[in-house]
Amino acid sequence: MRRTVLNRTLVVAGFLLATALDHDVQADPPRPLQLGFLFEHHFDADLVTLQRHVAWLSEYDLLVALHLERVSTRSLDEIIAWRRDGHSWDAITRRCGLGSEIYRLALPAALALRGPYARPYATWRQDPRADLRLTDEEVRELVLLRTLRDHCRLTAEDVVRRRTAGESPHSIATAAGTN
């Protein structure tokens, strides 16, 4: 009796596994990209192509990859391949022949910073030429800061205040009328 139940369980499990392996992930309708407005309007990127990359990278990582493609001589596919291989954004930035200065924007010295802005800007305020090692979170947020500033035509200070208050990129762009 136990052997029969075990055999049936294995057959059912095998069937379910085979069905899952036969399922075409690409057949599912793609979900809308939260940052699609930035990909399309700021980077002039093809959303269909980017949709495939979102299966492997977060949208915020994809934003960094597009930024690095724009400021370096490297291709998007090459940058994404490095990320998929497990390299940090700081390491990828350096492989592109760049330093942390590509992420720095001028912010008022009186502006109190917290979160992913605090450490980099504390260092840059002491030494504006410092080439510090940035965490992935810091790189993602600094690229988002630059992209929203440029796309929405806001000051970097305004974007930082809104982001540290918890506003999403979409709500910032909507409020600026650029979404």
Nearest C-alpha neighbor of 103 from the set 57, 152, 67: 67
Contact in structure between 83 and 57 (CB atoms under 8 Å): yes
Taking the C-alpha atoms of residue 146 and residue 159, their distance in angstroms, rounded to an integer, is: 9
Taking the C-alpha atoms of residue 59 and residue 61, their distance in angstroms, rounded to an integer, is: 5
Q: Is the pLDDT of residue 138 over 60?
A: yes
Q: Is the pLDDT of residue 25 over 70?
A: no
Q: pTM for this structure?
A: 0.80
Contact in structure between 117 and 156 (CB atoms under 8 Å): no
Higher pLDDT among residues 85 and 40, named by residue: 85
pLDDT tens-digit readout, 32-80: 678 888 888 888 888 888 888 888 899 999 999 999 999 999 999 999 9
Taking the C-alpha atoms of residue 162 and residue 106, their distance in angstroms, rounded to an integer, is: 16
Contact in structure between 83 and 132 (CB atoms under 8 Å): no
